[in-house]
Structure 1
């Protein structure tokens, strides 16, 4: 359905455009040919009138009666020839005699020769001008064209005029006159138009069919299909975009599979452990003095499941855009200090040195303090988790233009260079969650989403000496902070 309809639509559209162009060209050609024909016809008739005028001038030069009679016969023959060839009436007017002598004419010239309009034109000719006038005789209609030329005596003085009256119809170019000239050209143009239309339509439809087939494969779940177009322009760019989309969908599908596998593992491992310990307690295998420790293990696994479910819910809400943020001014230094106090037991347990680098006494930022606490806690938790005993943990805040800069640094093991570009990607760490020694592996992805929901920027740098997690949030003034505190 797509192929047939689209092909014929394009073909019909191109053919229609070409036919319109052909008809326009034919119209222009007809107009030009008509004008050329009219000018040529008028020129030809004017030449005939000049010949008669020349004969009349020669007639006045002849002294011999025989020559005079012969010339009159030549003039009459010429006049009859003009009448027969052009269906024209000829007036030969003598200014000396003051009357019009009309040869071979059916007109009653006495009705016209003395009219003001005719007299005016004769006066122009007497001054040596040639005339071309339409509608000189209103009684006969506007279709009569009059061409007049002067005839002169041997000394150059104008002694008369030759006027040819022809119908305007004779000057017009009719459709039947055009057919022999236009039809072959129009036929060739239409034939070429059909061929060109087929070629253009096929060349345009072929990449569209390729795109259609590829999309059909995608809908069936085959994301390995790629579009191969070499047509240039927007269609080739569209093909590249579709290939990129397929690649991203394929990667997203792989990530989804890895995520499902990782979540399944994370759910199965604690549940299996909890079930084993519960069955052992039921069977009385575990001594009573070890029961509290066993119950603590079950509680730890329960908390781990709770954390996993919470992270999954947070990710789902972030991705759906339904993650509520309570934006308000807060003191970044105070927030950092409270978070460090909450980690004090773990910091002391690993003998970690804490360095605080606050750029100012107070750094006021704008955001959801609870969610930013979640981000900073995740960074500090990861730092403590992977740092060696006696390592150094550094926290920083400072104004940076219109933002507040946050950083958590540690001298633990470096993150592999190949992992750095993907460290904040969704699900990237999910397949490694079971090797991290705790946690779900979703914390960094959630932190990235939270920061970006605030309109901030987040990044990571890592080398053998130092690993740094950094982000920015919009800054606010002390007045805004004080106003929010009083509210």
Structure 2
């Protein structure tokens, strides 16, 4: 740009200097430029003015470079300041937002910047802050829920043990068994929380192998029936269902489903356990009961941590409220899908469908 402007200025300065010459001197200059011999009188008129014309012509490049160069420096500097402000200002906001996040304030929102890169960074920070806020909310809820779940059994244990040590409460076998049940319940809760803490990590579902679900279901149902006694009627319809699973995690999920069915519907009729292939050729396992089922408006809430149906709690039944949450985490660890709902003829069902590998 400077070259173009200076070149124009040199031509302009030369034309301006020529316009100041007398007519005969201009004609002599024009003749010299075209290679013609000028008129002697015109040449005589040009001769005393030639040094002045040459000085003006030689000075014009320097004047052009200095003048227009300075003007371009000022212009480009102003443009640079404006661009720097448009780029740096969003970065300052991003830095302030990052500092707030570092201090634990996740309720921040950053406006998109002037460039695509800054805009993408702002969107990423906003998304990260929103995710951290959600995680913080869940963590606080889960912490309060864990404290609530453990407070009652710990209070019962502490009160009874204190009473026994003071001799106020007799240490009978029946009471000790009841206290052992309380301790076992807390142990199950801790195990379930540990399972959920591993969900989504590389150590959650390991040692996977391709096997038949029916074999593992038969083994697990047999052991569960033996521990539950004759009070639970388990019926099985086990068709071949090949899938790639972690056998330990799979049994953990199945036991949780069986325990839920036994706890809330075991007295209502048989519990049916089925395996096989669905219409899409995907392997599945389902556990169905003939109990009261789930209210329609809370079927999705059944996956939430520490959720319990008020309809069932009214019977004085206890549970950690983590069973289906653990099952869902294990299903997702296998890239499988967990569905829960009510059977058309009554009762509830839970179904895990494994993707075709």
Fold conserved between structures, TM > 0.5: yes
Aligned-partner Cα distance in 2 for 1:431–1:362? 34
Aligned-partner Cα distance in 2 for 1:418–1:234? 43
Aligned-partner Cα distance in 1 for 2:260–2:225? 14
Aligned-partner Cα distance in 2 for 1:311–1:353? 24
The match for 1:309 is 190
The match for 1:460 is 339
Contact kept? 2:342, 2:349, Cα under 8 Å: no
Aligned-partner Cα distance in 1 for 2:103–2:200? 25
The CA deviation at 1:182 is: 4.4
Contact kept? 1:262, 1:431, Cα under 8 Å: no
What pairs with 1:22-421 in structure 2 (closer than 5 Å)? 25-29=1-5, 48-49=34-35, 51-52=36-37, 176-229=59-112, 233-286=116-169, 291-318=172-199, 321-323=202-204, 325-344=206-225, 346=228, 349=231, 354=235, 356=237, 358=238, 361-387=239-265, 389-391=267-269, 393-399=271-277, 403-410=282-289, 412-414=292-294, 417=297, 420=300
Relative to structure 1, is the Cα distance of residues 77 and 228 closer, same or farther in structure 2, using a 3 angstrom cutoff? closer
Aligned-partner Cα distance in 1 for 2:223–2:351? 21
The CA deviation at 1:374 is: 0.7
Unaligned runs of 5+ in 1: 1-24, 53-73, 88-169, 477-487
Contact kept? 1:258, 1:430, Cα under 8 Å: no
The CA deviation at 1:33 is: 7.8
User: Is 1:451 aligned to residue 331 of structure 2?
Assistant: yes
The CA deviation at 1:275 is: 2.6
Task: Tell me how large the CA RMSD over aligned residues is.
Answer: 4.2
User: TM-score, normalised to structure 2's length?
Assistant: 0.72
SS in 2 for 1:221: coil
Q: Deviations over 1:303-350 (max 9, x none)?
A: 112212222333344455334622223221122223333343759536
More strand by share: 1
The match for 1:154 is none
Q: Deviations over 1:131-166 (max 9, x none)?
A: xxxxxxxxxxxxxxxxxxxxxxxxxxxxxxxxxxxx
Unaligned runs of 5+ in 2: 15-28
The CA deviation at 1:355 is: 6.4
Contact kept? 2:302, 2:308, Cα under 8 Å: no
Contact kept? 1:259, 1:431, Cα under 8 Å: no
The CA deviation at 1:218 is: 1.9
Relative to structure 1, is the Cα distance of residues 298 and 369 closer, same or farther in structure 2, using a 3 angstrom cutoff? same
The match for 1:429 is 305
Say how many residue pairs are matched.
330
Structure with greater Cα Rg: 1
Stretch moving more, 179-188 or 204-213 = 179-188
SS in 2 for 1:430: coil
The CA deviation at 1:293 is: 1.9
